[in-house]
Chains A and B, each alone.
Chain A
Amino acid sequence: MSGAAGTIRAISGWVVRAHLDQPLVMRELVHVGTERLIGEVVGLDRDEANVQVYEETSGLAPGEPLFGTGEPLSVELGPGLLGEVFDGVQRPLRALAGQEGDFIGRGSRAPALDREKLWTFSPRVKVGDEVQAGSILGVVQETAMLLHPIVVPPGISGRVTSIAEESPRRVEDVIATVNDNKLTMLQRWRVRTPRPLLERLPLEVPLITRQRVLDTFFPLARGAAACMPGGFGTGKTVTQHQLCRWSDADVIIFVGCGERGNEITHLVRELPELIDPRTGRLLSERTILIANTSNMPVSAREASLFTGVTIGEYYRDLGFHVVLLADSLSRWAEALREISGRLEEMPAEEGYPPYLSSALAAFFERAGRVKNLSGTEGSLTLIGAISPAAGDLTEPVTRHSQRFVRTFWTLDRQLAAARVFPAISIRASYSDVPPAMERWWSEHVSPSWSSLRVEALAFLEEAGRCEETARLMGVDSLPERERFILGMAEEFREGFLSQNAFDPVDSACEPAKQVEMLEMYMKKVRG
């Protein structure tokens, strides 16, 4: 980065207009003003650029310089991401707290990956080997439960001319030379560009969440996308925390975009105390938190989703199963709306920009179960929480999301008010269950899963009808069979559908136990 690329002309909120002396490209990362705030070019008009700034602009003045960086907004990828807490543009919040104290100031800088930390690199190739993008050069034990392959980044191939011996290395140390490319453990990738892959695999393996109502009735496939709308007070946060804790994944990425600071803090404090049921290790060892709370800059909130997705794709490409939870897409869409308003773009429905739908698609389409460049299988499952205004499921964010997901978990206010948690509405939720997934359950858990599930859904539908009748005419006026159904439905709701997140035993329910319980209830229903 040499001299200034331009000069700031005007400032309005998080949007800065600058006169350019040197050309910049669309989506280029720029540094704004003498404090070098982080920004991104979002519009070009002859010799002027519109820049969205990822930090508070208060105090910035026209006449201050703008610096180009020559590259788009990117994230750092490599060992050391697990267990970290980043903001929306991947600034490490623990390191920042160490430098700056309790509040996040402007112009605070720290590299995402610790430059000084030593990792023991074990080589897997020899000098002279032919390698290509995705080839594993060596491995690093990132956490006790995750062996992190160091792979050749996309776009590079050739003969290995040097390779490091087994030794402690920093992320920026050269560990291999392929042709003339010096490779380190640190890679960078542009957040708005999907990472390359070999092929997409069909979505047929369920992501086990150990939440009965989800796994049994509305299963989500590994590599698929789901959305979870719920008004405030419907238990969205707890449900997400449960998914974070119990999902069958190697890596969990939680993107808190525009949500409460205390909730992120809860996760930060709670995760190191929780044990992964599969490995017996700490859950924090497989979790990455991206925290851009509601009072942190709006433009960084917009970026945070893609920061998370890109990190998710990276681990997918190393052969891991990744689950990303975004809380919430509504707050993210509102960031789009705010920025769009500042850019004085013509709004579409409810003030959202017309490209809301394509922006959501750009997020959801990055989900997938794939064969990566290394030839191994990895997946990135996306779960987007939605906080629909006034619980209205016809609002734009929910409606557009529905076009891109096939698993839809609706949280119901009435169930929440009756303290039935998770408050997943049976009637307003749906999920696509392909035959291949039924086969998976049949082979891995129980052959009766599929038929029991259909039977239980029909029973709940009938119970719903009975409840309506009872509401109108009183329970006593119902025939005995219907009263029995009502009683059973109540029992089923309490015993099966609701699951106590705070109870150490009930918090997680293994698939086999789920089928067993379902079998028991259905036997009772059959009488």
Chain B
Amino acid sequence: MKVEAQTGVSVPHTAEPCSTDTPVCALRRKKSGGIERRGIAELHGPLAVIDGVSGVSADEQVDVVGSDGVPRLGRVITTSESRIVVEIFGVTDGLATSSTRVRFAGEPLHLGVGPEMLGRLFDGTGHPRDGLPPPAPAEVRPIIGAPINPVRREYPREFLQTGISVIDALNSVVLGQKIPIFTDSGLEHDELAMQIIRQASAPSVERFAVVFAALGLPRETVSRYIEDFRRTGVRSRMVAFLNFADDPTAERLITPRCALTTAEYLAFDLGYHVLVVLNDMTNYGEALREMSAARGEIPSRKGYPGYLYSDLASLFERAGRISGRPGSVTQIPIVTLPSGDIGHPIPDLTGYVTEGQIVLDRDIARRGVYPPVAVLPSLSRLMSDGIGAGSTREDHPKIAKRLYAAVARTERARALASIIGVDELTEVERRYLRFGARFEKEFLNQRRDETRGIGETLDIALEILKELP
């Protein structure tokens, strides 16, 4: 089946009537029952206000069915004895106040999960988007998850080789880490994410499972990922949750939670090492702002809600390892810096939760270098425990330190050269410029299908460091 046929066509996620009742790997309720009533009091965009129902609990799942018979999934956001506010994930066009039926599920949103999900494409709320029947769930889980007890976490220290020199040598990633790619529109972050997925390897891992969450992405971008997964054989061990750019905004808040619930199941129940790509978290943040404004909440920075940090953390903290369990959840969120601003609330707060960041740079990309990773602002916080003797190579920490210092001095020399001219530089500074040129060309730059082992990467580094005094 051609990929375009699966992802290029808009399949409304409400295609199967009453699908929330059937035992599928989709958001569903565990038990039947709950309260049902006809008529809603107010509708404001994605929010519905229902009066005169009592006993509805916080976060409860809701089905809102219009006169068209199509159920729309929703969630209770505030509840009281007299007034309930529901956030609807589907389109609310065509809903009337009097004829709309509302069914409260009696419990929070749950997702059916099972091994058959591997290889499948779902929409943003877990309904099949590949035209195949829904897979059978092995279990049903609440999508909000529960925090891992910090004393039960295993500290991540197992080196994950991406085969990309700049990441492996200078921003080494470990299994169970969360490390975002900070990028800008038009840079090759998608290629980088795909390359990481294709090339990821670790001594203890036979194969990685991949959970891909498209958050408000254009269909074209998603097709490229899916096509790449198919071509390279990743597809059979991948689960994708796709919320396209024109899908309902409220659904975007659910999609990463479905993806992470699946990832946790694959990792901690089935023992897979899972790479999760959340693409693009900036769209997620925008959706959060949009919904917050619709709820009439008091905004904090740049109109984003005051709970942006906690909300992002509730996603990113679902990465990790648990002692005594074999698998791991490694997250590679993609964050497009709004107008290139790293201090914007979304990247800023992301940086405070994640364990480092890989920053792409337009100037480097313009020089034709791929991957255009800016070395100095990039960082992996879990690197020091994951490298060196016994995991990468004994001289790795030393080489990384020397490279950093050299790149920092190269930057200074370049800045100086742009003011006073190359001719005025000292011989030492000129050597740094030569080092810088070779660093970009031979170390940073890499083919999109090139896997460099850590040994090869470090050898290249040693070679170009010879330029320096």
Show the binding face of A for B, using Cβ within 8 Å: 9-13, 17, 56-63, 85, 93-94, 96-97, 100-105, 231-233, 237, 256, 258, 260-262, 264-266, 268-269, 291, 293-296, 298, 330-331, 334-335, 337-338, 340-341, 344, 347, 350-352, 387, 389-392, 417-419, 471-476, 502
For A103, the closest partner residue in chain B by CB is B146
Return chain B residues, CB-CB under 8 Å to A11.
Answer: 57-58, 78-80
Q: In whole angstroms, how far apart are the Cα atoms of A11 and B300 in the complex? A: 22
A-B contact pairs, 18 of them (CB 8 A): A56-B146, A58-B57, A58-B59, A58-B108, A58-B144, A93-B149, A93-B150, A105-B146, A233-B377, A262-B355, A268-B150, A268-B151, A330-B352, A334-B309, A337-B300, A351-B298, A351-B299, A389-B348
Those 6 A-B pairs whose CB atoms lie nearest each other, nearest first: A390-B343, A351-B300, A10-B80, A294-B313, A61-B57, A295-B317
A338 in contact with B59 given A260-B355, A261-B148 (CB within 8 Å): no
Return chain B residues, CB-CB under 8 Å to A340.
Answer: 306
Contact of B148 among A103, A266, A334, A352 (CB under 8 A): A103
- Apart from A102-B148, A264-B150, what are 11 other A-B pairs with CB-CB below 8 Å? A10-B80, A12-B78, A57-B59, A103-B148, A261-B320, A262-B320, A268-B150, A295-B317, A295-B318, A419-B401, A471-B415
- Of the candidates B142, B316, B376, the one having the most CB atoms from chain A within 10 angstroms of its own CB is B376
B285 to chain A, nearest CB (A): 14
Contact of B79 among A61, A100, A262, A392 (CB under 8 A): A61
B277 to chain A, nearest CB (A): 20
Do A338 and B298 touch (CB < 8 A)? no
- Size category of the B interface is 35 or more
Do A294 and B317 touch (CB < 8 A)? yes
Which chain B residues numbered 86 to 127 have a C-beta less than 8 Å away from chain A?
107-108
Do B78 and A10 touch (CB < 8 A)? yes
A386 to chain B, nearest CB (A): 11
Which chain B residues numbered 314 to 339 have a C-beta less than 8 Å away from chain A?
314, 316-318, 320, 322, 325
Return chain A residues, CB-CB under 8 Å to B255.
Answer: none
Do B152 and A97 touch (CB < 8 A)? yes
Q: In whole angstroms, how far apart are the Cα atoms of A61 and B107 in the complex? A: 10
Return chain B residues, CB-CB under 8 Å to A105.
Answer: 146
For B404, the closest partner residue in chain A by CB is A419
- Of the candidates A261, A337, A347, A418, the one having the most CB atoms from chain B within 10 angstroms of its own CB is A261
B81 to chain A, nearest CB (A): 5
Q: In whole angstroms, how far apart are the Cα atoms of A136 and B308 in the complex? A: 49
A169 to chain B, nearest CB (A): 27
Contact of A341 among B298, B344, B419 (CB under 8 A): B298
B372 at the A interface (CB under 8 A): no
- Of the candidates B147, B320, B325, B384, the one having the most CB atoms from chain A within 10 angstroms of its own CB is B147
Do B107 and A59 touch (CB < 8 A)? yes
Q: In whole angstroms, how far apart are the Cα atoms of A418 and B405 in the complex? A: 6
B134 at the A interface (CB under 8 A): no
A288 to chain B, nearest CB (A): 13
B456 at the A interface (CB under 8 A): no
Stretch at the interface among B153-161, B188-196, B226-234: B153-161
For A331, the closest partner residue in chain B by CB is B309
Return chain A residues, CB-CB under 8 Å to B297.
Answer: 341
For B300, the closest partner residue in chain A by CB is A351
Q: In whole angstroms, how far apart are the Cα atoms of A108 and B376 in the complex? A: 44
B22 at the A interface (CB under 8 A): no
Return chain A residues, CB-CB under 8 Å to B300.
Answer: 337, 341, 347, 350-352
Chain A proximity mask over B159-192: 1 for CB below 8 Å, otherwise 0: 0000000000000000011000000000000000
Return chain A residues, CB-CB under 8 Å to B83.
Answer: 10
Return chain A residues, CB-CB under 8 Å to B310.
Answer: 258, 294-295, 298, 334-335, 338
B426 at the A interface (CB under 8 A): yes
Q: In whole angstroms, how far apart are the Cα atoms of A472 and B418 in the complex? A: 11
Q: In whole angstroms, how far apart are the Cα atoms of A127 and B81 in the complex? A: 59
Q: In whole angstroms, how far apart are the Cα atoms of A256 and B353 in the complex? A: 13
A232 to chain B, nearest CB (A): 4
Return chain B residues, CB-CB under 8 Å to A389.
Answer: 301, 343, 345, 348-349
B294 at the A interface (CB under 8 A): no
Q: In whole angstroms, how far apart are the Cα atoms of A85 and B153 in the complex? A: 13
Do B352 and A62 touch (CB < 8 A)? no
Return chain B residues, CB-CB under 8 Å to A232.
Answer: 348, 351-352
Contact of B420 among A102, A233, A387, A473 (CB under 8 A): A473
A63 in contact with B81 given A58-B144, A390-B348 (CB within 8 Å): yes
B357 at the A interface (CB under 8 A): yes
Do A419 and B419 touch (CB < 8 A)? no
Q: In whole angstroms, how far apart are the Cα atoms of A503 and B320 in the complex? A: 27
A394 to chain B, nearest CB (A): 13
Do A261 and B348 touch (CB < 8 A)? no
Do B146 and A97 touch (CB < 8 A)? no
Q: In whole angstroms, how far apart are the Cα atoms of A419 and B400 in the complex? A: 11
Return chain B residues, CB-CB under 8 Å to A261.
Answer: 147-148, 150, 153, 317, 320
B391 to chain A, nearest CB (A): 15
Do B150 and A10 touch (CB < 8 A)? no
Q: In whole angstroms, how far apart are the Cα atoms of A392 and B342 in the complex? A: 12
A262 in contact with B424 given A232-B352, A294-B313 (CB within 8 Å): no
Do B426 and A475 touch (CB < 8 A)? yes
B316 to chain A, nearest CB (A): 8
B371 to chain A, nearest CB (A): 19
Q: In whole angstroms, how far apart are the Cα atoms of A306 and B84 in the complex? A: 35
Chain A proximity mask over B365-389: 1 for CB below 8 Å, otherwise 0: 0000000000011010110110000
Q: In whole angstroms, how far apart are the Cα atoms of A235 and B101 in the complex? A: 54
